[in-house]
Each structure stands twice: as structure tokens, then as C-alpha cells.
Structure 1
Amino acid sequence: MDKQQVIEAYRRGLITLQECGQILGAEKTQLDDLLRADHLRRSLSSKPVFIADHY
């Protein structure tokens, strides 16, 4: 199962944090880091960046 799918299942409440960790083979601190990184990735991808050059 894809890591992102497991995290999404946890976020939707389909599995517990413990089950998420068991599927991914990660400990609590590793899960916290994964979830934080996933959240940052999502927030950055949902806000497109436009850079304008004033020259």
C-alpha cells in the first residue's frame, strides 16, 4: 500500500494512528514527522506561487 494512501486513510479516520504506524512500519516520532511533512507538502501544493519579474 502506498504511504500517501495510508496517511490519507488515517486523516479520514478509517484507521487509527497505531494502525497507520503498523502498516508503515514506523514509530510514533517517525509518524509525527511523516504527517507533518505530508501536511506541509499539501499546503504548499494547494497554494500556487506566481513570481513576476519587474525588469
Structure 2
Amino acid sequence: MDKHKVIEAYRRGLITLQECGQILGAEKTQLDDLMRVDHSRQPLGSNPYLIVDQL
């Protein structure tokens, strides 16, 4: 899954920061850096929803 989509899902409140980290395989400090860098990106297209399958 594209890391930007995962981060966008976190920002929209669809997943927690912990879930975001698990999906990306990142630790909290790495997530903080990703959130800071990725903040300048534009939102994902016109579809505001991301569908995530529950395991």
C-alpha cells in the first residue's frame, strides 16, 4: 500500500497512529518525520475514502 494513502487515512481519522506505524513498519520517531514531510502533499484525488480490509 502506498505510504501516502496510509498517512492520509490516519489524517482523516480512519486509522490510529499506531495502526499507521504497523502498516508502514515504522516507529514513532519515523512516523513523526513522515507526517512532517508528507504534510506538504496535496490530498488524494476527489475520493475522500480509503477502504481497508479487516484481518
Note whether the superposition's TM-score is higher than 0.5. yes
Gaps of 5+ in 2: 43-55
Question: What residue in structure 1 maps to residue 29 of structure 2?
Answer: 29
Identity %: 86
Q: Which has the higher helix share?
A: 1
Q: Deviations over 1:8-37 (max 9, x none)?
A: 000000000000000000000000000000
Gaps of 5+ in 1: 44-55
> Normalization by structure 1: what TM-score?
0.72
| Deviation (angstroms), 1:42 | 2.6
Name segments (4+ residues, structure 1) moved above 3 Å: none
Give the aligned length. Answer: 42
Larger CA Rg, structure 1 vs 2? 1
Residue type matched to 1:31 in 2? Answer: L
Structure 1 residue 42 corresponds to structure 2 residue 45: no
Bigger relative contact order (CA 8 A; separation at least 6): 2
Structure 1 CA distance for aligned equivalents of residues 26 and 34 of structure 2 = 9
Structure 2 CA distance for aligned equivalents of residues 34 and 25 of structure 1 = 12
RMSD of the TM alignment (CA)?
1.3
Structure 2 CA distance for aligned equivalents of residues 11 and 4 of structure 1 = 10
> Normalization by structure 2: what TM-score?
0.72
